[in-house]
Amino acid sequence: MAEIRLCDVSKRYGPTEALRGISVTVKQGELLALVGPSGCGKTTTLQILAGFLIPDGGEVWAGDRLLSTARGAVPPERRRMSLI
């Protein structure tokens, strides 16, 4: 697996800000756990990473491959990753 980077990712649902400027890097071989209270954006973050949601701002990268921006995204079936 290549390095995964979320760079300043944001997502809104109407007036509700689900994510504001999330930036995370997961290097090859590392594990990451998302923990937090209900409604803090864990599932939204994973759905953006998997390609089920498009971010309103920021970028998602896998290695040197741009996967998502507010302008568009690589479809989930072409990302070679999944959400469990």
pLDDT tens digits along 47-59 = 999 999 999 999 9
| Cα 52 from Cα 64, distance rounded (Å) | 20
Average pLDDT over residues 57-78: 94
Query: In terms of Cα–Cα distance, which of 48, 57, 56 is closest to 76?
Result: 48
The 10 Å Cβ neighbour count of residue 55 is 24
Q: What is the largest CA-CA distance in the chain?
A: 37
Element (H, E) at 13: strand 4-13
What pTM was computed for the model? Answer: 0.90
Residue linked to tokens 């953006």: 48
Ordered structural domains, the chain, with CATH: 4-78 (3.40.50.300)
Residue 40 CA, chain-centre distance (Å), reads 14
Q: What is the structure's pLDDT at 49? A: 93
18-27 residue pLDDT tens: 999 999 999 9
